[in-house]
Amino acid sequence: MTPLQSHLQPKAHFQRIGLMIRKDSPSVVESLKTLLSFLKQRKCQLFMEGDSYRLSHQAEDITVVDSVAALAAQCDLVIVVGGDGSMLGAARSLCRAHIPVLGVNRGELGFLTDVSSDEIESRVAEVLEGKFSREERFLLDASLSRKQQVISVGDAMNEVVVHRGASLRMMEFSLWIDEQFVYSQRSDGLIISTPTGSTAYSLSGGGPILHPALDAIALVPMFPHTLSSRPIVVDGKSKIRIVIGDQRGGQPELSCDGQNHWFLEKGDVIEIAKKAETLSLIHPASHNYYETCRSKLGWGSRLS
């Protein structure tokens, strides 16, 4: 069994629970209240980081810590209430601690947040009783160098994207994989996606869906000028390098999970590789990846 394969856990004793929310909305706060009430009935110790605590309208009987790192150090499970965006932010913060993370969905699609709002008590009870599966999801590290000096670094659970920014002009870049030249391209950009991100921006760009257990990275061109340029899938251990070419007045950008952005110049070098740390993602025992795809992507729906 590979490290990325999920497996049922025979026993689990989660008693110290961290809670994270990243958006102050009525639906998120409502689900948080339900979750808090249930966890208190189970006699769990509850912890929140300061920003989440303020967004929670300062719930009672919560130990407040001053950082996400401190939260991870106190807990044996973190539950994130929100959508996939909330989970992405939590993942980048929590992966170094290698603490299990469970998601309660109050967003839209919810590929990473399994527990629906009307199943909070039953599904969280399953997890607390040890009825869950666990997956290790890898992230990507990205570094941006200019004139042989690293000027920015970032990480992404879904994707790293090099794109043309606000300009209507195509951008130019060259791609290397493991020091082997692949191509020079004019296009709107390139999506470098993990299996987790293959159902996100990469999918909308025509990329393949990668099962989360795969140790692979997808590279998806965005509206390439050469019609024969197609997505490619490479080994997850590959080292990817992109060199920015002449932009003819445009201002391309680099983004990580759509939440960090850096402007690019001619000659900039972007290096992307798998991050050493992984996110330990918890699913209720009833979780089925293909059922998630069917329900979220509308597979098998009848044509009317």
Rg over CA atoms, the chain: 20
C-alpha dihedral (52, 58, 59, 61), degrees to nearest 10: 100
Q: How far out from the chain centre does Cα 1 lie?
A: 23
Contact 90, 80 (CB under 8 A): yes
Catalytic residue among 84, 188, 257, 268: 84
* Per-residue CA distances from 267 to 96, 164, 217, 221, 244 (Å): 32, 15, 24, 20, 5
Burial class from Cβ neighbours inside 10 Å (0-12, 13-18, 19+) for residue 52 reads buried
Residue 276 has a CB neighbour count (10 Å cut-off) of 10
The Cα–Cα gap between 125 and 211 comes to: 27
> Is 178 noted as a catalytic residue in this protein?
no
Largest Cα–Cα separation, the chain: 63
The pairing of beta strand 132-146 with beta strand 149-156: antiparallel
- Cα of 244 vs its chain's centroid, Å: 26
Residues labelled catalytic:
84
